[in-house]
Amino acid sequence: MSEETYNAPTEIKELEIFNTIELEDYAKEVMPHGGFDYLAGASGEEYTRKRNVESFKSKGILPRVLADVEFPETDTKIFEHDLKVPFIMAPIAAHGLAHETKEAGTAKGISEFGGTIMSISAYSGATFSEIEEGLNGNPRWFQIYMSKDDQLNKNILDEAKADGATAIILTADATISGNRDRDDKNHFVYPFGMPIVSRYLTGSGENMSLNNIYAQSKQKITPKDVEFIKEYSGLPVFVKGIQTPEDALKAIGAGADGVWVSNHGGRQLDEAPGSFEVLEEISEAVAGRVPIVFDSGVRRGEHIFKALASGADIVALGRPVLFGLALGGWKGVKSVLEYFEEDLKRVMQLAGAQTIDDIKHTRLKDMNNWQ
Amino acid sequence: MSEETYNAPTEIKELEIFNTIELEDYAKEVMPHGGFDYLAGASGEEYTRKRNVESFKSKGILPRVLADVEFPETDTKIFEHDLKVPFIMAPIAAHGLAHETKEAGTAKGISEFGGTIMSISAYSGATFSEIEEGLNGNPRWFQIYMSKDDQLNKNILDEAKADGATAIILTADATISGNRDRDDKNHFVYPFGMPIVSRYLTGSGENMSLNNIYAQSKQKITPKDVEFIKEYSGLPVFVKGIQTPEDALKAIGAGADGVWVSNHGGRQLDEAPGSFEVLEEISEAVAGRVPIVFDSGVRRGEHIFKALASGADIVALGRPVLFGLALGGWKGVKSVLEYFEEDLKRVMQLAGAQTIDDIKHTRLKDMNNWQ
Amino acid sequence: MSEETYNAPTEIKELEIFNTIELEDYAKEVMPHGGFDYLAGASGEEYTRKRNVESFKSKGILPRVLADVEFPETDTKIFEHDLKVPFIMAPIAAHGLAHETKEAGTAKGISEFGGTIMSISAYSGATFSEIEEGLNGNPRWFQIYMSKDDQLNKNILDEAKADGATAIILTADATISGNRDRDDKNHFVYPFGMPIVSRYLTGSGENMSLNNIYAQSKQKITPKDVEFIKEYSGLPVFVKGIQTPEDALKAIGAGADGVWVSNHGGRQLDEAPGSFEVLEEISEAVAGRVPIVFDSGVRRGEHIFKALASGADIVALGRPVLFGLALGGWKGVKSVLEYFEEDLKRVMQLAGAQTIDDIKHTRLKDMNNWQ
Amino acid sequence: MSEETYNAPTEIKELEIFNTIELEDYAKEVMPHGGFDYLAGASGEEYTRKRNVESFKSKGILPRVLADVEFPETDTKIFEHDLKVPFIMAPIAAHGLAHETKEAGTAKGISEFGGTIMSISAYSGATFSEIEEGLNGNPRWFQIYMSKDDQLNKNILDEAKADGATAIILTADATISGNRDRDDKNHFVYPFGMPIVSRYLTGSGENMSLNNIYAQSKQKITPKDVEFIKEYSGLPVFVKGIQTPEDALKAIGAGADGVWVSNHGGRQLDEAPGSFEVLEEISEAVAGRVPIVFDSGVRRGEHIFKALASGADIVALGRPVLFGLALGGWKGVKSVLEYFEEDLKRVMQLAGAQTIDDIKHTRLKDMNNWQ
C-alpha cells in the first residue's frame, strides 16, 4: 500500500449528526478498508475498546430538577487557555488515512470551531507548517513519541516549541504497538511518511508498519523522560496513558504538570478495564494537585458529563473527530465538535448543571448489571 | 407532515390483551411511522427507556402462601379521590398521534373504566372541552408545561381549574427536549396544534418540532414555580420527574403536595438509571410526608406490585394506554386498564396480598444478575 | 379441543438421552401444539421459568479430588421410605397431554425404575385405580387441590388414603392460575376430564380452561388447611410452593411435616426469583426440623447435587419426566429417571462425594456474573 | 471408527497466527469431525469450558507506565529446569487425532522451540520411544492415569522414569469421564491404541470409548496414591485437577511437590467455576510452599500474565497447541509456542513488567459485569 494507491476521502461538507456512534458506520463506507480498520480497530479481541464505551453505563446520571438552569455554560480553563468547551482534540496518528487534507483538515475544523485545543501527534502525516495552515494560530499541544536518541528528541521539541505548542504530552502507554489483529491481517502499512519523527526512522514512515515504527521509538520511558522534557522544553508536561493511582502519583512525583487518563482507545493492552472505570480512583489520588485530562470511549455528551463528574478536568475526543474528518473534511470535524457542544449542553440542562463546576459536584449513581 | 397528511388510526374496538409488551408491535402496524416513533421512542440510544422496564427485574416478588387471600382488593385513596385501582393515567402529549379521537378517546376509555384519574397534558391536542366530552365528569389532574410569561401560566391554570382539575402536575424534568434520534431522523413535527399552550407558542403547535415547542416553554423551573402554582391555583401540586432523594426533599420544601418519581419514560436524559431503581431510596427520604406517584416502564401487574412494595402510592401508566388507544380507541384504552386491573389482582392473589396495604408491607428480594 | 381431537403420543420405547434440555425440543415435535405449550410454558414472559434453570449457575460445584470415591451411593430415606435415589416425581396435572397412557404410563415408568416415589396430582386425568395399574404398589404421595367444600376434601383424602398415599402435598402457591400467555393464546382447554376433582367442578374438567378449573378450587389456603388435612388424613403433610423462610416457619408452625420449596416451575408468579435462589435461606430457617423437598428447574445431575448441597433433602422432577413420557411412554419415563441417576452418580464421582450425606456437606462457590 | 478410516491431518507448515481463538475454527476444517469434537468439546453444556476462557475477564490488567521496561525477560525456573518461557505443554491424550505424527509431532515442535517442558499423557497414542524421536532429549514430565493394579502402575512409572521423566503428574480430577455430549452423540471411539496404558485395558485402546477406558482405570485416587508414586518413582509429584484450597493443602499434606490447578479444560465437571476464578484463593492457601502450575482456558498472552499475577508459577497450554499440531504438524506447534512467547512479551512491555517476578507483583483490578 503506498500513497499513490491509498485513496483517502476528499469530500468537504457539514454533517447532520444524530449520534457519533453511527459516524463509524458511515466512515467505513468512504474510507479505504485498511485505513478504516487501522483507525477503528484496537488490540486483541478489542474487548477494552468496546468496554471503554460501555463502561460509562457503570454510573448513571441522576437528573436534577428545580435547578434553576438555563443556557448552560460550558466554558472552562486549562493552564493559560480559556476554553469554550471542556473538551479538546486528542492526539491521533495519521489523519491522512481519513482525509486527503490530513492533520491540516482537522486543524481547520478545530480552529473554525474555536475555543479548544488541538493535540498534534508526533506520528502526524503533515508537517507543523502544513498543520498551521489549518490551525491558524489556534492553541495546540504536542504529543511526543520519543526517539532512542535524546538529541533527536531535543530537535523535535525545538520544532514543536517553535510551532507554538503550549504543552507536551508524553505518551507513556505505547512503547510498542498493541497486537492489532486487523492491521496484521490487512498487512497494513502507512501510505505516507511521518515528517516529524522520520528523523529517527529507517525511512520516512511510508510503507512501514505500526510495529516497525514503534520498534524504532524509545521503549524505556521513565520518570527521567518526564524531567528531561520538562526541563528542556520549559513547557508543562502531561503523562498520557495513566490507568492507576500509583502511576498518577509517579508522574506527579517526576514533575508532570498534568495526568492524562487514557488506555489509548483500547489500542494497546486488551483485557484492561474501561478507561472510565479507573478514573475516579485516580482522581481521588491526584486530589486536585494537577489537572486531569481523560480520553478513551467518549461518544456522547453524557460521557463527557460523567467523566467530569468523576474527576476529569478536560475530556479529549478521538475517533469521532476522525470519522467526521473522513466524512466531511474540516467541515465534518467542526460538525462533530458542534455536536458534542450541543449534546453536552442538553445533558447539562436536563441534569441540572449550569456550569462545569456544577457538573464536578454532581453525584452519579453506581449501576448494577449495566451490561 | 401536517394534519391533512397524518392518518391517525380510527378503529374503536375491545382488545384481547395477553400482555402489554406486545401492544407496541401491534400499534406499530396501525400508526403512521413518525407518530409511532415519537410515542415509542426515547432519548439517546434509548438505554434508559429499556432499562425502565428491565430494571423491575432487579427485585423479585417472593410469593407468599397460606396467606388467606381471596378476591384481592385494589381500592385505594389519593387526596379526596377514592380509586378502585392504584393506577392512574400519566400525562402524555399529543394523543391524536395514536387515534383520531385524540385525548377525548383516552378520556372516554378512562371514564368508562371508572375509579381512576386522568392526567391532562398541557401539550394536549384537544381542548379541555373536547376532552370533557369523553371524560364526562371523571376526576382529572392537569400537567402544566410553563410559559416564560407568568400571566400566561395564570391563564392556563385558570382554565385547568375551571375544567375541574383537582391537582396540578409540574413537570420539572423536561425543560428542553431530550435528544430523540428517531424524531430527529424522521424530521418529526406535530401534525396538529396544541390549544392549551398555543398562547405562548409562535404558532399553534402544528408543524412544529418538539425541540421548538420546548424551547418556547420555560427552562428555569425552580422551587418558586412550585410555590407560584400552589398559591395561584390553590390546588395540590406534584413535582414530576424526581429521581433523587435530594430533589424529593427540595420539592417538599417548596410546598409540593406530592412527589412524582419519573424519568419521563426515558425520553429526557439517557444513561440515567431505570426509574424503578431510584424509587426505594426516594421513598425512604420522603418517609410518608407526601404521596408518591411513580411512572416509567410499567408494563405488567408485577411492576405495579413492585412499585407499590418499594414505596409508591400510585402508579401512572403511559405508553401502554396510548397503544391501546391506537388499536381500539376508547374501547382499547378501557381494555388496557382492565388488563392491568386483572393482572394486578392475579399477582396479589399469587403473592399473598389481600389489599394495597399488604403490598406495601411485602418484602422483595434483591436479585443479582437480573439481566 | 376435545378428547376425540387431541392426539396424544402413543409410542413406547427406551430413549438415548444425552441431556434433558434437548428432550423438550424432541417432545415438541411429537406432542400436539396446545398440549406442548401447556406443559412447557409458564406465566408472564416466562422469566422465572428460565431463571429456575439458569440460576443453578449462581453457585459452582467445586470438584474435590483425592476423595476416595468409587461407585457413589445415592440411596437416602424420607419418612418411612428407603429410596435408591434422592429424587422423586413431582406432582403434575394432566399427563395425558403427553401420552395416551396418561398418569398410568408415568406410574409404570416409575415403578419399573423403582426406589422412588410418585406424586399423584389431584388434577390427574387418570383415576387412582388406573394409575395403580402402572404404579403396581410403588409408594406414592398425593397432591391435593382443595375444594371450597371441606366435605369434598374429606372424600378426596379418603380416596387418596385408600389408594395408599403415604403423605399429602398441599399445593399452596396455586390458588389461581398464573397468566399463561401461551395457553391463553391457544385458547387451551383440557381435552379430558379430571376424575379426582370433578366432584367439585361444574363438569368433568374436559373442555375446561385452567383458569376455570382453578377458579372452582379453593383460594383461601391458610394454616388451618394444613391442620385440617393433617388431622383428617393422619398423614404427613407437605406445604408446596414455599419461597421464603417466613412461610417455611409458618407451615411448620401449622404442623407441616415437610417444606416443599417450589415456584411451580415458574407457572404461577413471574418475575419471582429462581427457586434455587431462595433454597439456602429457607434451609437455614428450617434448620433440619422437617425435611425439605425442592423442585423447579432441575435438568441435570449437577442441579440435584447443588440443591442437596444447599439444603434440600429430596429433589422432585417435573417437565423432563413428562417429556420422556411423551417420547417413549413408560419406557421413556424410566429412561429419564435412569439418566438422572447415572448423571448424579457421575457428578458425585467427579465432585468427590461418596454419599448423599457427603453432598450435603459440600461447599459450593458463589459465582459472579453467572449469566 | 478405526485407524484405517480416521484420516488425521498430515500437513507440516509454519502458521501465521493472529490469535489462538481462531485456530479452533481452522482446525475444525482439517480434522475429522469426531476427532475435532473430542478435542474441542467438553462436558455437559460446556459452560465451564467457555467460562474458563471468559473468566479471565473477571480481572483486568492495569497497564503500568514509566516502568523502565525494554525487551521483557520471560525466563523462569521450575525444579531443576531453566525455562525460557513460563509456560509448558499440558498433558493431553491422543494427539494422533490432530495429526498423523501423533505425540511425536508435538514433541518435535516443543524441542525445536526449546526451553520448555512437554507433559506426556499416559493416554498417548505414541510410545515413549516414538515420542522421544521428536522430543530429542527435551525435558518431559509424565502424567499418569493409574491402573487399579499397583504392579502395573509400577511398570508404567518404571517406563516413564526410564524415558527420562523428571516429574510425575497425577491427574486426580478424572477418575471417570465427564458427560461429553459431543462424543456420546458421535459414538466416538479412539481410532488407535494407547500403548502406555494398554497393559491394563481389555484391548489396546483402539475402538474403545473414553468412558470405557476411564472405567478400567483407577477411581479411588487418594493421598496414598500420591505417597505411592512419590516413594516408588523418587520423582517430584504434581496433583493435577486442584480447584480448592482444601485440596491443595491435602495434596501438599500427602507429599505433593506441586499443585496443578486445572479443571481439565472443562471436560470433567460442568457448572464448575472457571479455573482462573479459583486460582487466587488456592495460591493464598499454598503460600509459596510448592510451585503452582495452572491450566484451563489459556488463549492469550494476557491470560498467562493474569494467571502468573494471581499466583501461578507456570502455565500449561492445551488445546491451542493441539490445534496448531492439526494445522501444521510440528511446525504448527512451534508457531503456537512462538505466538505465546511473543504475545506474552508484548503484554509485559505494555503492562510494565520486565520479568516474571514483576508480573507476580502486579496488582490486577477486580472487574464488575465482565460478561
Q: For cell 485456530, name the residue.
A: D23
* Residue at grid coordinates 424509587: B279
Using a CB-CB cut-off of 8 Å, the residues of chain A touching B176 are 346, 349-350
Query: D164 - beta bridge partners?
Result: none
> Å from D58 to nearest chain A CA?
9
Could you give the CA distance from residue C185 to residue A223 in angstroms, rounded to a whole number?
A: 70
Q: Do D44 and C369 touch (CB under 8 A)?
A: no
Query: In the prediction, which pLDDT does D3 show?
Result: 42
Whether the predicted pLDDT of D2 surpasses 50: no
Tell me which residue of B280, D228, B266 sits closest to A302, measured CA to CA: B266
Instruction: Report CB contact under 8 Å: B306, C271.
Output: yes
3-state secondary structure labels for all residues of D269-288: CCCCCCHHHHHHHHHHHHCC
Asked if residue B145 belongs to a known ligand binding site, the reply is yes
Which cell is B297 given? 416502564
Q: Which pLDDT tens digit goes with each residue over C185-213?
A: 999 999 999 999 999 999 999 999 999 99
D220 closest CB neighbour out of C70, C346, C350: C70
Question: Residue A156 CA to chain centroid, in angstroms?
Answer: 20
Probe site for chain C from B19, B58, B66 (most C CB atoms < 10 A): B66
In Å, how far is D57's CA from the nearest CA of chain A? 6
pLDDT of residue D1: 43
- The pLDDT assigned to A3 comes to 42
C-beta of residue D296 within 8 angstroms of C-beta of residue D265: yes
Confidence at D4, pLDDT banded by 50, 70, 90? low
For residue C309, the distance in angstroms to the closest alpha carbon of chain D comes to 14
Residue with cell 466524512: A327
pLDDT confidence of A43, banded at 50, 70, 90?
very high
For testing the chain A interface, which of D306, D350, D359, D368 should be mutated: the one with the most A CBs within 10 Å? D350
Is A241 marked as a binding-site residue? no
Give the gap in angstroms from C-alpha D347 to the nearest C-alpha of chain A. Answer: 7
- How many residues would you count in chain C? 371
- Cβ neighbours of C173 in B, within 8 Å: 63, 65, 350
Angstrom distances, CA of residue B80 to CA of B139, B294, B312: 10, 19, 18
Chain A residue with Cα closest to D66:
A222
Beta strand D59-61 with D364-366 is antiparallel
Task: Taking each helix axis as running N to C, give the angle between helix D33-40 and helix D21-30, from 0 to 180 degrees, rounded to the nearest 10.
Answer: 160
Report which residue type is found at A370: W
Residues 6+ apart with CB under 8 A from D369: A58, A369, A370, A371, C369
Closest residue to C369, CB basis, from D179, D254, D369: D369
Catalytic residue list contains D99: no
Residues of D with a Cβ under 8 Å from any A Cβ are 18-19, 21, 56-57, 60-71, 300-302, 306, 343, 346-347, 349-351, 363, 365, 367-369, 371
Query: What is the predicted pLDDT for the residue at B5?
Result: 84
The arithmetic mean of pLDDT across residues B243-266, rounded, is 98
Distance, CA of B139 to chain centre? 15
Residue A2: band (very low, low, confident or very high) from pLDDT cuts 50, 70, 90 = very low
pLDDT at D159 exceeding the cut of 50: yes
Confidence tier at B159 by pLDDT (50, 70, 90): very high
* Cα–Cα dist B314/D124, whole Å: 70
pLDDT tens digits, residue range C123-161?
A: 999 999 999 999 999 999 999 999 999 999 999 999 999
Q: Which residues contact A349 (CB under 8 A, 6 or more apart)?
A: A69, A70, A72, B175, B176, B219
D54: nearest CA partner in chain C: C369
Write the residue in D60, D347, D349 that is nearest to A175 by C-beta. D349
| Average pLDDT for A10-37 | 97
Is B253 labeled as ligand-binding?
A: no
- Is the model's pLDDT at C3 over the cut of 70? no
Helices (H), C217-361: 223-233, 245-253, 275-286, 301-309, 319-351, 356-360
Residues 6+ apart with CB under 8 A from C367: C57, C58, C59, C60, D273, D277
Runs of H (alpha helix) within B193-318: 210-216, 223-233, 245-253, 275-286, 301-309
| Low-confidence winner among B198-207, C43-52, C295-304, D275-284 (lowest mean pLDDT) | B198-207
CB contact under 8 A, A272 and D349: no
The model's pLDDT over A280-337, given as tens digits with 9 standing for 90+, comes to 999 999 999 999 999 999 999 999 999 999 999 999 999 999 999 999 999 999 999 9
Q: What is the pLDDT of residue A1?
A: 43
Residue A27: how many CA atoms within 13 Å on its side-chain side? 31
Nearest to C347 among D246, D263, D269 (CB): D269
For residue B143, list its beta bridge partners. B121, B169
Helices marked H in D31-118 — which ranges?
33-40, 47-54, 102-113
Give me the pLDDT at residue D345, please. 98
Per residue in D295-334, pLDDT tens? 999 999 999 999 999 999 999 999 999 999 999 999 999 9
Mean pLDDT across the stretch D150-168?
97
C-alpha cell at D7: 484420516
Give the mean pLDDT of chain A: 97
pLDDT of residue B17: 97
Q: In chain A, which residues have their Cβ closer than 8 Å to the Cβ of B369? A: 369
Fill in the amino acid letter for D334.
Answer: K
Q: B371 vs B258, which has greater pLDDT?
A: B258
| Under 8 Å between Cβ of D321 and D337 | yes
Mean pLDDT of C354-365: 97
Structural class in CATH, domain B32-369: alpha beta
For helices D128-135 and D150-163, angle between their N-to-C axes, nearest 10 degrees: 20
Mean pLDDT over the full length of chain C:
96
- Percentage of chain D exceeding pLDDT 90: 98
**Mean pLDDT estimate for chain D:** 97
Give me the catalytic one of D95, D99, D264, D303.
Answer: D264
Per-residue model confidence (pLDDT) at position A4: 55
Beta-carbon-side half-sphere exposure of residue C353 (alpha carbons within 13 Å)? 29
Looking at residue C1, its pLDDT comes to 43
* D236-246 pLDDT per residue, tens: 999 999 999 99
CB C146 within 8 A of CB C196: no
pLDDT of residue C148: 95
Burial of B3 (0-12, 13-18, 19+ CB in 10 A): middle
Contact: A173, D63; criterion CB under 8 Å = yes
Cα–Cα dist A273/A50, whole Å: 10
Instruction: State ipTM.
Output: 0.96
Q: Which chain D residues have any C-beta within 8 angstroms of a chain C C-beta?
A: 44-45, 47, 58, 172-173, 175-176, 178-179, 181, 184-185, 219-223, 225-226, 239, 241-244, 246-247, 250-251, 254, 263, 268-273, 277-278, 368-371
Contact B298, A88 (CB under 8 A): no
CA separation for the pair D112, D118 (Å, rounded)? 12
Q: What is the pLDDT of residues B272-295, one digit of tens each?
A: 999 999 999 999 999 999 999 999
How many CB atoms are closer than 10 A to CB A230? 18
Please count the residues of chain D.
371
pLDDT tens-digit readout, D218-228? 999 999 999 99
Q: What angle do CA D242, D245, D348 make, to 5 degrees?
A: 75
**Nearest CB to D61 within list A251, A254, A271:** A271
Q: Is the pLDDT of residue D335 over 80?
A: yes
Closest by CA position to B321, among listed B99, B73, B157: B99
Residues D91, D106: Cα–Cα separation, whole Å: 11
Q: Which chains touch A (3 or more CB pairs under 8 A)?
A: B, D
Does residue B1 register a pLDDT over 60?
no
Q: Which three cell numbers stand for residue B243?
A: 429521581
Q: Model pTM?
A: 0.97
Rounded percentage of chain D residues whose pLDDT exceeds 70: 99
Distance CA A71, CA A136 (A): 29
Per-position b or e across D131-147, b if 16+ CB within 10 A of its CB = bbebbeebbbbbbbbbb
Query: Hey, which chains touch B, using 3+ CB pairs under 8 Å?
Result: A, C
Indicate which residue of B33, B81, B99, B264 is catalytic: B264
Measured CA distances, A207 to A5, A6, A175 (Å): 11, 11, 20
Whether residue A240 is annotated as binding a ligand: the answer is yes
Give pLDDT, residue C261: 98
CA–CA distance, B201 with B208 (Å, rounded to integer): 10
* CA-based nearest distance D28→chain A, Å: 20
